[in-house]
């Protein structure tokens, strides 16, 4: 009983930390993309593509933490 509870709690903590890391990563990528467009508005198309790829890779961490951690 207690071991099952501890396993569920540790899995929840792992998922929460994985999602927190993904959220921080997406926030950092978004911040840097906005800064880059502010410095060079002509390159906004290329920056947008790179930002979307970076955000997708950061979000993959959340999926790994949620689905593979159990």
Average pLDDT of the residues in 1-26: 81
pLDDT on residue 37: 96
pTM above 0.95, yes or no: no
| Rounded Cα gap, residues 8 and 41, in angstroms | 48
| Pair of tokens at residue 23 | 């959220």
Q: Which of 67, 53, 63 is nearest to 21 (CA)?
A: 63
C-alpha closest to that of 63 among 8, 10, 22: 22
Mean pLDDT of 13-27: 89
Per-residue pLDDT, averaged over 3-31, amounts to 84
Full set of structural domains in the chain with CATH: 2-68 (1.20.20.10)
Q: What is the pLDDT of residues 27-63, one digit of tens each?
A: 999 999 999 999 999 999 999 999 999 999 998 988 8
41-50 residue pLDDT tens: 999 999 999 9
Handedness of CA 49, 50, 52, 53 (dihedral sign): positive
Q: Which of 9, 17, 24 is nearest to 66 (CA)?
A: 17
């Amino acid at each position: 009983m207690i071991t099952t509870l501890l396993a569920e709690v540790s899995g929840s903590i792992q998922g929460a930390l994985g999602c927190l890391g993904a959220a921080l990563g997406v926030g950092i990528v978004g911040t840097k993309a906005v800064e880059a467009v502010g410095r060079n508005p002509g390159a906004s198309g290329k920056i947008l593509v790179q930002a979307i790829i970076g955000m997708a890779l950061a979000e993959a961490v959340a999926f790994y933490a949620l689905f593979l951690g159990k």
